[in-house]
Amino acid sequence: MKTHENIFIKNARFVVLPRIEDGIDGTISVAEYSDHIPFLIKRVYYIYNLIKEGAIRGKHAHKELEQVFFCARGSCDVELDDGANKQIIHLTKPNVGIYLGSELWVTFHKFSMDCFLLVLASDIYRESDYIRNYEEFLSYLNRAGKKT
């Protein structure tokens, strides 16, 4: 599997936030509903202290939840799987995130020691929305007629 600059996986795309440079006072990036984030944000969480070599996050899909992930610091790889295609995206820029729609199997790995993932989600946590077994994910797509 190779890292690509363009995302060809269904229900995934880059989200690029503006960078406002303020000289010695730093840089600010702003995420606003509809201009940058395609859903109303109902939950924000972040993942950090990924100091164990070989740490893996994700390994699941969502039936309905939409999310945008920003690697606010450091870097990581995002492995996407829509049931027909797989792709790895390397996140390194704090203003370039990845939108993940529903029905995507997602795995995060190869975290830098300083990685800090900021996540914006379309809904509160609901365990019933998760698909945590890969074979079940493929069956779910087949039942919905979405696997190509």
Give catalytic residue positions: 60
Q: Which of 70, 65, 48 is nearest to 123 (CA)?
A: 65
List of residues 6+ apart from 117 with CB closer than 8 A: 46, 47, 48, 57, 69, 70, 71, 72, 76, 108
* DSSP conformation letters of 106-129: EEEE---TT-EEEEEESS---GGG
List of residues 6+ apart from 81 with CB closer than 8 A: 9, 104, 105, 106, 107
